[in-house]
Amino acid sequence: MALPLMPKATAVWLVEFTTLTFEQIAAFCGLHALEIQAIADGEVATMMQGLDPIANGQLTKDEIERCETDPKLRLKLSAAAHPVPHTKQKGPRYTPISKRQDKPDAIAWILRNHPELSDAQISRLIGTTKPTIAAVRDRTHWNSPNIKPRSPIIIELCSQADFEAAIAQSRRAGRLPAEAQEVEEV
């Protein structure tokens, strides 16, 4: 069962402003009934300010009134209280410092094994710039002698799903590897 935000502060408010039983409050807040009794006696959370679960949308007034009439009923967290998972934002990703030196290796691997991918797609996949891709392609990169082509999936610079989506997109756009284009021309 999902618990309310700041359960102890919510319990303080429920003890002060409702006639719910200790067991009802304990079940809702995920605390022990003795802890709720200690809050009511002023032994625990004496300086804690209560958090109104009605104001922040975790409970409704009707739900509290329903449970106040019958001590056997349990409070239910309202549907609006459940956080909506946010989608991953598009844009630049943070690459840890330890992985940044792996980017030229991943670029070299992609250029060797998947030449159909455009520079923009490689840039999006790995999180690098077009000048870096051009430098690796032309072997003018400052670290060119030490670049060893490695899969960006294995070194965790992109996911398998993102990589496959980029390849499928380039195939739909009609970009083929250089070898395939030569075969079609003949």
Of 151, 150, 147, nearest in space to 164 by CA: 151
Residue 185, pLDDT above cutoff 50: no
Report how far residue 9's alpha carbon sits from residue 145's, in angstroms, rounded to the nearest whole number: 61
Q: What is the pTM of this model?
A: 0.50
Which of 26-30, 78-82, 119-123 is predicted with the least confidence, judged by mean pLDDT?
78-82
Average pLDDT over residues 91-97: 75
Reported as a pLDDT band with limits 50, 70 and 90, residue 181 is very low
Runs of H (alpha helix) within 53-102: 61-69, 97-100
